[in-house]
Every structure is written in C-alpha cells, then in structure tokens.
Structure 1
Amino acid sequence: MNKEEKTEYLIDQLRAENAGYEALSMPVDLPGKRRLLRSLMNVRFPGPVSPEILKVQDELLQEELEEKGIVDVMELPVIQDEYPCTEIKNSRRIVLWQGDITRLKADAIVNAANSQMMGCFVPCHGCIDNAIHSAAGLQLRNECAQIMEEQGHEEPTGKAKITGGYNLPAEHVIHTVGPIVGVQVTEEQKEQLKSCYKSCLKLAEKQGLRSIAFCCISTGEFHFPNKLAAEIAVQVIDKYLSTSEVERIVINVYKNEDYYIYKKLFQ
C-alpha cells in the first residue's frame, strides 16, 4: 500500500469501531484524509487494536517521520558553543533547539500532559500533548490508560510518569502535569513547575537515561508566563546537572517568542 492507501485503510478501520462515524465521508485529497485520520486517532478511547491495524499505522507514521527528518540530540550544538559568554554552569550539556519535538532522537522527550494523562482528545488540537500522541500512535494512549488504571486517580501536578516512545524517534516519553495559571502566578504554582522539571530529571536518571528533551511546560494551554517559566526551567536544569550524570538536556521551543526568551537568558 502507498501512503494514501494506508491512510484510507486506517480511516475505514477506525470508522468501523463506532457506528456514529458511518456518516463521515472520505475526503477527496490526501491532506484531508490525513487530517481525518488524525482526528479519529485523537478521539479514540483506549482499547485493543488489531495487529493488522497497528502494522499499517506504524508503517505510515514511520514513513512520515522519515519525511520530517530525525534530529539526533547528541549532534546538536550546546549553548556553550552558541553563547560563549553564558553564565550557565553546565552550558556544555544543554542545548536550545527550535522545532518539532516529535523529530528528536533522544532517550526521552517530555510531554506536557493533563491530569487524565491519556493525551488530548480534541481533534487535531495544537497542543504538544496532541502532537506527541499523534506521532507516537495508538499504543501510547493505551499504555497511559493502563498506568492510570493501576494508579486509580488523576496524575498530581508536578509529578512524572514514563512510557515507551513507540513511533517517535525518542525511546521514551516522560509525561508531567504542569500548573494551570489563572489571573496571576502563585508561589505554589512556581514550586509546582520546578517540581515538574525535577520529577522528570529524577525519573530519567532512575531509568538510566542520558538525553532528555524538555518542552516549555505549562506555557501553552496552561497559561504560565513564558519568561518566568524559562527562568525556572534554566535554574532547575542547571542546578540538577551539577550533581547528575545526565549527558544532554535539550530545551525544545516551538514558538519564536520562547526562542528569543531563552536566547536572551543565555546571552
């Protein structure tokens, strides 16, 4: 099957799981078909998936990953090379990289999850939770659901859980729930964000991981102020590295706003 045939096959299989989807018509172009497939994957509740469906899904996602291109975090320039005057103590082990986190080949990437920790159910939503689950495949939600069922309660803010990476180039995904900010940031929320970074780092080190890529936790849908969040991230990461064997930490930014904030901090 070519890419379009795989997409159509997966759409047909996921539509067949729910009688309410019978009215959904097949889009005429490949981008439309791919968007519908992503939507169906996003809204699908955890549950068994046949090996045949997973085989085709994995082939499609791996093909798309190859098209996007894999970025090895160990080959990226560290901030010591890009910002020689930086006051960051561990500048030879930290990278600032702007781009799609689902392209990064690392031991783990960090996902800014919600307290249900099963991914974003909003079709094609722009959050990183949605992007990571969409690129990893249906297996990721199923593993998250198993973790949450065993836990028996929502994931607390500031903690972290680890899963496989499945169709991502990263071997693992570390999921953490950041604080949700209202009118203004409280001291408790600052401590919770610090805890997110510390929990991810401790879990990574416990698992023997050597490279981790962080997203900008809580700055998107959770409305934590970008500059303050960056300051907290740099402070916690730099301090932790001083007594850690983790070799490479990537601060992954997507928006220009965050890129300029971190550049200014490092300069």
Structure 2
Amino acid sequence: MELCFASFSYQPTVLTVSGTIAWDIMEPLGINMKIVDVWSLPVWAVSEPSSTPILPPQPTPNHATPPFRVNKIFNSKLCLWAGDITQLNADAIVHSTNESLCEPNGYSERLIFKAGPEMKHELYNNIKSCKTGEIVLTDGYKLAARYVVHTVGPRYNIKYHTAAESSLHYCYRRTLECAVDKKVKTLAFCVINSVKRGYPPDQGAHIALRTVRRFLELHSATLERIVFVVNGIDVSIYEILFPLYFPRTPEEENCSCYLLPIDLGDKFGEPSIPERQIRIIDNPQHRYEDVEDSADLATQFQSSLSIGDHAFSQMEDDIDKQRLLGGQPAYAVADPETASMTSDLQHKQKYERLLRRAKTEDLSEVSGIGCLYQCGVDKFGRPVIIFIGKWFKFAEINLDKALLYLIYLLDPLVKGDYVILYFHTITTTENHPSLAWIRQVYEVLEYKYKKNLKAFYIVHPTLWTKIMTWWFTTFMAPQIKAKVHSVPGVEYLYDIIDPDQLEIPAYITEHDMTINGLRYYKPGSASS
C-alpha cells in the first residue's frame, strides 16, 4: 500500500510526491502554506494488496461469511494518507479537540493558527464548548478546507468501554451526517481517538473504519472522497485493518472472517450491547418481544458524563468486566468489599493448588525444551529470566504443563525484584501464543509476579509483537505497561546486564550480527 507524504520544503513550484499534487501559497505575513490536492491522492482501489495475513494454526472463524464484501465503488472513494491534514483542500476536514475546544497539542494549535484569528475568536468566544461525541461546524477561514468539523473524542475506561465506543462512533457518524447536510463531496478525517485520553489506537481504528463502511452502505452516492489521515502508530494499524473493512480481493475477504471482531455493531456500526438498553412499554401485559423501540440511556443523555455509563444505573455488576471475562451478568450483586475478599481468597487458593502440582508432577517434557530458564543476574543483582520464543511451539506444547513449569521456575525468584528477557528472534506463527492463553497465565499468577517485575525486554520485536504487546498491556495488564520495553538488538541490553551474565542461543547472536553488525559484541555474549 502506498502512503503519500507531502514535502515540507518551500519551493514556489507545483510539486508531485508519490502521485500527490501540492503547491505553495505565500500568505501576506510571509507564512508559506502548502496545499495538497485531495483529488491527487491515490485511492484505496488502486493500492497494491500486501501479502495475505498469516492466520494462526487451525484458526476458528468469527464469521461464517465475510461481513464486508469487495466493493470497488467504496474503494474508489477512500484514501489512506500520511500527512498534514491542514494542507488538504478537502471540502471539510475534521479537528479532534477537547470539550473547551482548546486541546493543548501540536495538531490543534497548528490548525487554529493556520485558520487565523477569526476561527480562534469563533471557537473561544461564540461556540465556547462541545460535548463528548458531539460536533460543531465552522468555516475553514484561511485553511484550504471550506469547513472544519470540530469534535470531541471520549476518554477511555476499560470498565465502561462500551460507552466510550459509542461516543467515538457518534463522532464519526455525526461528522458524516453533517457532511451530507452541507453537500460536502470531499471529507478528511484525522484520528479522533486519542492515546492521551487513554483510547486504544487499534480499537479506535475499528470504530472509524466500521462506521464509515456502514455509512457508505446507506449513503454511497453522497460523498465522493473520504481521506483517513494517519501518522505515527496509526499508520501500521490502519494498514492492517483497512483490508478487513474494505477488502480488495477474495483473499482479503476470507481473512476478514477470522480477523474481524465478532461484534460489528448495528446497521450504523454502533456497538450494540443488549444489557445496556432499557425497553419501555405502556402496557405491562405486553410481551417483551413485541417492543420494537428501545431507549439507550448512554445515547439519550447528551452529556460527556452519562448516567448510562455507570454499572449502578444498570442495577447489576459491571457488564463490560463480565463480558471481558466471558461470564454472564449477575443480577444479585454481593457487597463489593466482601466480593473482593472472596475473589482474592479464591485466586490465592487456585495459585497454591497449581504450585503444589508444579512441585510434584513430572515436567521434564517442558523443561527439556529449554525455552525458559534463568541466566545470571543484572548489574543490580536481580535474577534474569530468559524466554526463547522460537523454541516455544504453542500448538505442540502441553500448555497446562507449560504453566506449571513457569510457576515452578519463577515462584522462588519472584519473591524479590527480577527481570525478564523475551527473545522474539526469527519466530513464526507457530511460536505465537494466543491472547486468551497469555491472559489466563497473567490472571493466575500472584500479585508478587507483577509487583516485583522490574523490566520486561522484548528483543528483536516485530510489528506483530508491538501491536499485541500494546494491546495486552493496555487492556489486560496496565500496571506493567511502563515496565515493558522493545529493543532492536542484544547490545542494547548491555546497559543492564554484563555480557558474561547473558547466556543465549548462538542463532540469536548470529541473527543480531546480520542486522546490527559485529561491533557491538564482546567475548562471552553467547552460548551455543
């Protein structure tokens, strides 16, 4: 897939960069503002499909048939572009900001500065505020765009993630509806969800792409060009997810059956959770199934802090947490303090049972693989645990015994501070454990494992490990997020561990030398 980057050099002539046409405009104050023609951006339909994603062994599809079929008309309307949205001459561009319309970040400040004092006056003196999930429309003033749609993305809380997803959905949906009302033909979206507000980038991308896809299915003739403007980590995420919602080939359609989430929302793309809806009827004798309309408190109360967001308003335990753990809502809620103590006791008892098994069962079939072992200490005297990804054959290993061996090896070491080095060097899909198993292991381990872990280094990471690590530490293990680090080579570990304390397979150092060279290596840094 081709991403276009407009040049920032100040040349007075028309520029063509990767098929993108841009020209310079000199403002009266001497500010050089480059304009990128939205019609010169390559559309999704003509981008080259990347290699088909590798599915896990014996995958189970989430959907029997592809939820989204190849649609050449849709694909010819869409662009994925890495650049500065303030340079686009689209009819309308989107500005993601906060409730006070004064988000303190480079993007907002640049947009308002380029638009000129008129926009600043209108936002701060006339409009003044905007609620989460809502939009306000202004002229583009000195920008190349005719309109600017200002919208406020939600803050993310995993306990109430459905409310956050709905708010983000409405940011995109109301922007699209506004574009239709204003007879806008070209529209450019920035990434509305913000990591600063805690919103996971991949989940935000799912909402954005799904909402636009559903909208085009209902209003395909209105908009002629929709541009997703992405930068940073969002580039890789959108590259991966774009073919799932807008497939170009039958192969991409097939992959979407496995890689798209089960819940794809309603016909508008809005997340639909039955437990979050209250059905209201006039006659209490009416059958439940006869009611066609429902009132969703989270969407009816137009406020950034909605009563429908809290589990208490549902008069049951937190629904999102139960869904995350795979359970059903419990309508008889115990005292929170008692429930917490009971849960902690049950967790400790479960761990103690596993520890007893780990000390008594024969685990030689797992220990003999050699994928998990201790090797020396770091410069602070903390034990270093090594995990070799290439030797962990997820589909072949007895996972129950793998968990027991993990507990057997680590239990005496994690009573104090410790460090883990995970080598992802030359791994394949057969070495990738499922997120469900990783979550199970993490939830089984006692608190001391998380508390005393001082650093978790991922050596030779790939895009897969970066995305999966980010997802896991955001959703499942936020308390260790700051402890996880990706490093491109073995030599980056020498600041925390002496080479003579590091015992790793020879293939790792050989691979490292091919990508980082010989200059980093010291005697004793590898073992055969």
Provide TM-score, normalisation by structure 1: 0.68
Within 2, Cα distance between the matches of 1:162 and 1:220? 24
Per the alignment, in what secondary structure is the counterpart of residue 102 of structure 1? helix
CA distance 1:248–1:185, shift in 2 (3 Å): farther
- For 1:265, the equivalent position in structure 2 comes to 241
**Secondary structure, aligned partner of 1:189:** helix
Please give the alpha-carbon distance, in whole angstroms, between the structure 1 residues aligned to 2:126 and 2:40.
33
2:80 corresponds in structure 1 to: 96
1:88–1:238 Cα contact (<8 Å) kept: no
The answer on whether the counterparts of 1:79 and 1:91 sit within 8 Å (CA) in structure 2 is yes
More displaced 10-residue stretch of structure 1: 177-186 or 246-255: 177-186
Q: Does 1:224 align with 2:199?
A: yes
Alpha-carbon distance in structure 2 between the residues aligned to 1:217 and 1:246: 19
Aligned to 2:89: 105
Offset of residue 98 of structure 1: 0.2
Partner residue, 2:28: 59
Corresponding residue for residue 228 of structure 2: 251
SS of equivalent residue, structure 1 residue 70: strand
CA shift at 1:220, angstroms? 3.8
Question: 1:58: Cα distance to partner?
Answer: 5.4
User: Aligned in 2, Cα 1:115/1:170: closer, same or farther, shift over 3 Å?
Assistant: same
Deviates more, 1:94-103 or 1:217-226: 217-226
Q: Give secondary structure in 2 for the equivalent of 1:254.
A: coil
Structure 1 pair 107–206 and aligned structure 2 pair: CA distance change class (3 A):
same
Shift in CA distance, 87/156, structure 1 to aligned 2, threshold 3 Å: same
State the distance in 2 between where 1:170 and 1:184 align. Answer: 38
Q: CA deviation at 1:266?
A: 2.5
After superposition, residues 106-255 of structure 1 pair within 5 angstroms as 106-117=90-101, 119-120=102-103, 122=104, 125-126=105-106, 128-148=107-127, 154-182=129-157, 186-244=161-219, 245-255=222-232
Task: Verify the 8 A CA contact 1:58 1:167 in the aligned structure 2.
Answer: no
**In structure 2, what is the equivalent of residue 39 of structure 1?**
none
Give the C-alpha shift of residue 228 in structure 1: 0.6
Would the alpha carbon gap of residues 208 and 147 (structure 1) be closer, same or farther in structure 2, given more than 3 Å must change?
farther
| Aligned AA (1:116) | S
- 1:234 counterpart SS class: helix
The answer to which structure, 1 or 2, has the higher relative contact order (CA under 8 A, 6+ apart) is 1
**Hey, what does 2:261 align to over in structure 1?**
none
Q: Give the letter for the 1:112 counterpart.
A: S
Q: Tell me the CA shift for residue 221 of structure 1.
A: 2.5
Deviation, 1:133, is: 0.7
- Give the Å deviation of 1:164: 1.0
CA distance in structure 1 between the aligned counterparts of 2:70 and 2:82, rounded to whole angstroms: 19
DSSP-derived class of the 2:241 partner: helix
Contact persistence 2:91–2:147 (CA under 8 A): yes
User: In the superposition, relative to structure 1, how do residues 233 and 185 fare at CA in structure 2: closer, same or farther (>3 Å)?
Assistant: farther
SS in 1 for 2:110: helix
Which residue identity does 1:262 align to in structure 2?
A: Y
Call closer, same or farther: CA 1:226–1:79 in 2, change over 3 Å: same
Greater Rg by CA? 2
Which residue identity does 1:100 align to in structure 2? D
Instruction: Tell me, in whole angstroms, the C-alpha distance in 1 between the residues paired with 2:42 and 2:27.
Output: 31
Q: Could you list the runs of 4 or more consecutive aligned residues of structure 1 that deviate by over 3 angstroms after TM superposition? A: 83-89, 182-185
How far does residue 236 in structure 1 lie from its aligned partner after superposition?
0.3
Asked if 1 retains the 8 angstrom alpha-carbon contact of 2:43 and 2:79, the reply is: yes
CA RMSD of aligned residues (A): 2.2
Between the aligned partners of 2:45 and 2:169, the Cα distance in structure 1 is 24
How many residue pairs match? The answer is 197
Equivalents in 2 of 1:266, 1:258: separation in Å? Answer: 11
Tell me which amino acid in the other structure corresponds to 1:212. Answer: L
Q: What is the rounded CA distance, in whole Å, between the counterparts of 1:239 and 1:133 in structure 2?
A: 31
Contact 2:185 2:223 in 1 (8 A): yes
The DSSP-based 3-state class of the residue aligned with 1:209 is coil
- Counterpart CA distance in 2 for 1:191 and 1:172 is 25
Distance (whole Å) between structure 2 residues aligned to residue 130 and residue 137 of structure 1: 11
CA distance in 1, matches of 2:156, 2:27: 37
**Cα distance between partner residues in 2 of 1:174 and 1:214:** 9
**Is the Cα contact below 8 Å between 2:77 and 2:225 reproduced in 1?**
yes
SS of residue in 1 equivalent to 2:175: helix
Q: Distance in 2 between matches of 1:60 and 1:211?
A: 29
Gaps of 5+ in 1: 1-56
CA contact (8 A) 1:185 1:224 kept: no
Provide the C-alpha distance between the structure 2 equivalents of 1:130 and 1:184, rounded to a whole number of angstroms.
Answer: 32
Show the counterpart of 2:45: 80
Name the structure where helix makes up a greater proportion of residues: 1
Distance 1:258 1:185 in 2: 23
1:131/1:185 CA distance change after superposition, 3 Å: farther
The amino acid across from 2:29 in the alignment is L
Distance 1:252 1:88 in 2: 22
| SS at structure 2 position matched to 1:186 | helix
1:130 partner SS: helix
1:46 is matched with: none
Distance 1:237 1:185 in 2: 23
